[in-house]
Amino acid sequence: MTFARLAVLGLAALMLASCTREMPPTDKDLIERFEAKRATFEALRKRLCDLKYDQTITRDWAQPQMAAKDEKDFRALLDEVGARSVRYVRGCQLWIEMWSSGPGRDTARKKYRYGPPMYRIIEIKKPEPGEPPEKDTNEYLDKRVSIASYEKNIEGDWWVELDHWQ
């Protein structure tokens, strides 16, 4: 092979490698992380549920009504569990985003959710004995639906949730 062909192949390989997306964590990975960091998740939930207003906190932004010290404390909790952001809605509903991919309409998010079951989400039930193994919510990525949300119960009001739009 000539040098030019090798250079073109190398460039093509680099371009393909840069197009690959970070893979979403599996439900099992998220459940194991939840169990290992349960105290931190509960501390985050309790502190957010004590708020008297809705709040969004990301790694580099929070709504202005939050004091700088509280914002710093919440970011430390997010870092401890490896989260990208948290969204809290009064009534003690929260979403802790762990992974996201794609812009605009071609996006997917995997997160923890705290709160009662939601009517708009398809719950992935645990299989009965003798049924095929439980599906991971990642198996529903890239299915031909416009908007879909799937959740799997961890325990109580804690859930693993997958949302995607196409």
Tens digits of residue pLDDT in 58-103 = 988 888 888 889 999 999 999 999 999 999 999 999 999 999 987 7
What's the one-letter identity of residue 5?
Answer: R
pLDDT in tens, 10-51: 444 444 333 445 889 999 999 999 999 999 999 999 999 999
Angle separating helix axes 27-36 and 38-49, nearest 10 degrees:
80
Provide the residue count of the chain.
166
**pTM of the entire structure?**
0.77
Phi/psi region, residue 20 (left: phi>0; alpha: psi -120 to 50; beta: rest), is beta
Report the pLDDT value the prediction gives residue 146, as an integer from 0 to 100.
Answer: 59
φ/ψ of residue 145, rounded to 5: -135, 155
What's the one-letter identity of residue 160?
Answer: V
pLDDT at 164 over 90: no
- Which residue reads 């998740």 in tokens? 41
